[in-house]
Amino acid sequence: MSPAAFIDANVPIYAAGRAHGLKTPCVRILMLAAAHPEAFVTDAEVLQELLHRYLALKIWSDGRKAFDRFSEIMRDRVESILESDVKYASKLADDNSDSSARDLLHVSVMHRIGLHRIVSADKDFDKLPGIERLDPAQFEEWKGTVIGGPVTDSPE
């Protein structure tokens, strides 16, 4: 089975963060990714985003734990950023210049591997053509579609 969804950086960030309405759904998403590794993928840019965020906020000691947990969950499912991805992102920027470079890189990687769904709280993905954003807040509604059947997980 090829991956069904790309996991964006905000998922592990919310999962590891303080109490928030998206914390529990993001924890459950990561649990689902750990239980069904074939269904999820991410890219090296997501790991770079995590590294940058926790270093910039000067909370690396806590961030390191989140980074390591996410890296372990996504082991062998982290796509590299290729030159062709960067070139495709630059083409996407022609019509989506208000999008972030990171978002365009994620979409480029997704395009290369034939993926159109991204798990993200970032509503900017809603503006990008051919991308279906799976909102963590609606996890209960879409979780089965990613793994191709019912999910019997628990946040505990």
- The contacts of residue 43 (CB under 8 Å, 6+ apart) are 6, 78, 79, 80, 81, 105, 106, 109
For the chain, what is the domain count? 1
Radius of gyration of the chain (CA): 15
> Residue 128 domain-assigned?
yes
Q: Which residues contact 148 (CB under 8 A, 6 or more apart)?
A: 1, 4, 39
Q: What is the pLDDT of residues 27-66, one digit of tens each?
A: 999 999 999 999 999 999 999 999 999 999 999 998 999 9
What is the reported pLDDT for 108? 97
121 occurs within a structural domain:
yes
SS3 state at 3:
coil
**Average confidence score pLDDT of the chain:** 92
Residue 2: pLDDT band with limits 50, 70, 90: confident
Q: What is the identity of the amino acid at 148?
A: G
105 within some domain: no
Does residue 59 sit within a domain?
yes
Note whether residue 102 is domain-resident.
Answer: no
Tell me, yes or no, whether 65 lies in a domain. Answer: yes
| The pLDDT of residue 75 | 94
The answer to whether the beta carbons of residues 89 and 107 sit under 8 Å apart is yes
Residue 28 belongs to what domain range?
Answer: 5-79+115-144
pLDDT tens profile 135-153: 999 999 999 899 886 665 4
Q: Is residue 151 part of a domain?
A: no
- The pLDDT assigned to 152 comes to 57
Give a yes or no: residue 24 inside a domain: yes
pLDDT given for residue 31 in this prediction:
96
